[in-house]
Amino acid sequence: MFSPQASSHQPAKPQSARERQLLWPGQLQRNWVKSHREGGGGPVNNAGVGLVGPLEGLSLATMQRVFDTNFFGAVRLVKAVLPGMKRRRQGHIVVVSSVMGLQDPFPLDPQNHHPDPKSRLPPSLSGVVFNDVYAASKFALEGFFESLAIQLLQFNIFISLVEPGPVGTAFEEKLLEQVSAAQFPGADPDTLHYFRDLYLPASRELFRSLGQSPQDVAQAIVKVISSARPPLRLQTNARYSALTALKAADPSGRLYVWSAHRLLFRWPGLLIRALRCLACGCFPSRVLPG
């Protein structure tokens, strides 16, 4: 759900014309690829859908549609443009991923890459939980393009994964309202309680406190495109900039699981109050790396 891309819940909405163009090659896609091959440059992949809710209440068909758009849609696009880029031995592929493809239990101080004791709360916590399938599709993107980046560097082709956190839009607020009233057949009462009474309030506060605007994310994409030495990853929100360092510091993953569980299920009031503190301006809430 942390994305400037389209989001949906069970049942998934029909794909837009733009998504169909990416998923099922047609004349429009062939024309675009032909133009790209002749004119050079590189693609920016921003097609995607979200999925939120208890896993038991989501159908496999819906999960597959999320992967078909978020992961295989990007794969199809890259396969279409890669031959021309390799022949020219230059290019830059920009992919809009998400911090949910990494997971971060703490907002970090971008200056020292250590947890900030003043804001010790998990900005991605209420986004990862109950977003299992969406997060998995972003993990797939991260692994695929990180692996591909090594090979393509030999052809002077760069890959950049732009990783937004929460992006505040009217659409996201409407989505939260819809899923709060949605029925999830197969989900047990306890799980529905956690989803509606813990996750949804925390998610609303998260978007209020840390949500960036689509313009912020667009500026980050422009920055990556114009970079002389494009990075493999760029988090658009500075609170996530040391995320990979934290994962390396705790390869077992126990710190993330333990702290995320405690904050959401044992101390939800603390989590909400901390997020509200961010929203009121006590700490910087809408930031972009300089």
∠ CA 140-146-149, nearest 5°, is 135
How far apart are alpha carbons 113 and 244 in whole angstroms? 10
The residue from 134, 199, 240, 256 that is catalytic is 134
Closest CA to 121 of 281, 237, 273: 273
* Percentage of residues of the chain with pLDDT beyond 70: 62
- Enumerate long-range contacts of 265-271, CB under 8 Å, 24 or more apart: 265/194, 265/198, 268/198, 268/201, 268/202, 270/121, 271/121, 271/122, 271/125, 271/126, 271/202, 271/205
Closest CA to 276 of 198, 190, 228, 207: 207
Q: Give yes or no: 134 in active site.
A: yes
> 80-105 burial by CB neighbour count: b if 16+ within 10 A, else e?
bbbebbeeeeebbbbbbbbbbbbbbb
Q: Average pLDDT of 230-235?
A: 89
How far apart are alpha carbons 220 and 13 in whole angstroms? 29
Q: Taking the CB of residue 58, how many other CB atoms lie within 10 A of it?
A: 23
Q: Average pLDDT of 151-157?
A: 95
pLDDT at site 277: 58
- Check residues 280 and 175 and name the one with the higher pLDDT: 175
Cα-based torsion angle of the residue sequence 249, 208, 54, 267 in order, rounded to the nearest 10 degrees:
60
Q: Per-residue pLDDT tens for 74-120?
A: 999 999 999 999 999 999 999 998 877 776 433 333 333 333 333 33
β-bridge mates for residue 94, sequence order:
44, 160
Q: Average pLDDT of 59-72?
A: 94
- Check residues 228 and 204 and name the one with the higher pLDDT: 228
Task: Count how many residues are written for the chain.
Answer: 290
Residues 6 or more apart whose CB falls under 8 angstroms from that of 192 comprise 54, 184
Residue 115, amino acid: P
- Check residues 116 and 149 and name the one with the higher pLDDT: 149
What class has domain 17-279? Answer: alpha beta
pLDDT at site 231: 92
Read out DSSP for 43-54? -EE-------S-
Q: Average pLDDT of 216-230?
A: 91
Q: Per-residue pLDDT tens for 205-222?
A: 777 777 788 899 899 999
Q: Average pLDDT of 18-42?
A: 44
